[in-house]
Structure 1
Amino acid sequence: MCYDLDDLQEEIARFHPIGCAIIKYHPFGKIKLLYEIVNFKVSKMITMNLAVKKIELINWLTKQDEAMINKIDNLRKSSIEKVYSSRMSDSLGSKLKRSESDIKAGRMHSQDEVESYFNSKFGQ
């Protein structure tokens, strides 16, 4: 994308209301404003392209059979599990496994039991 600095008046007026004043009174006004306009347009194009890709994928998914949708769902779940396991520390993971095994074995207490234990232990 190439801009002629002298022909930027309309672009500047659309994207930056005080752009004309910046160009007239700031020595690097044209360059700064040109950068802002190009940066805005590129970010807008990326956002629009991503939205279009998402819509195309959703449209494609509606035409697929259940087996394909299940494969995609499994891929999503496995990627979530990878992120989850990479962020969890080893000690936290071992504590989680121990607590799950305690729950399965029935080694758990209600909130009332825990409160009465601490009240009797610490005399509150």
Structure 2
Amino acid sequence: MIAAQSAVVPLEFLTMNIGSAGAACVVFLAVGFVGGYIARPLVDGETPALAIIKPTLPTDEQATAAVRRHKDFFGSFPNAGVKLGDCGPNNMGPGTMCMTSFTKDVTASNAKPMNRPIGFARVNDQWEVSTW
């Protein structure tokens, strides 16, 4: 009879530990949120050097010519058309990365533009595709 009574754990003991652990979690979360909020202005996301350097951008005609010259394992696009959208520094290679409206063949009657990012870089005073 004594063994059976010692195996029973009082319920107040369990709720007290869970309550303490829960309170500790709330305190740690609050400290993390406050610390992140305070440190957020320290991480600007744009370094001063990148803020000063404005990337040079190709025109739609230069981008179209670069895509028409570009060859990869899918082939080439001699009748392609490109309209540039938002551009910024290319994080995957040299030059600039632009969101484009790309048409594989502008002479086709059922040509539909596709929105896709394409990277461009200046090589020997002409624009070339750097990231496809």
TM-score (norm 1): 0.31
Specify which structure has the higher proportion of strand.
2
Higher RCO, Cα 8 Å, sep 6+:
2
TM-score (norm 2): 0.29
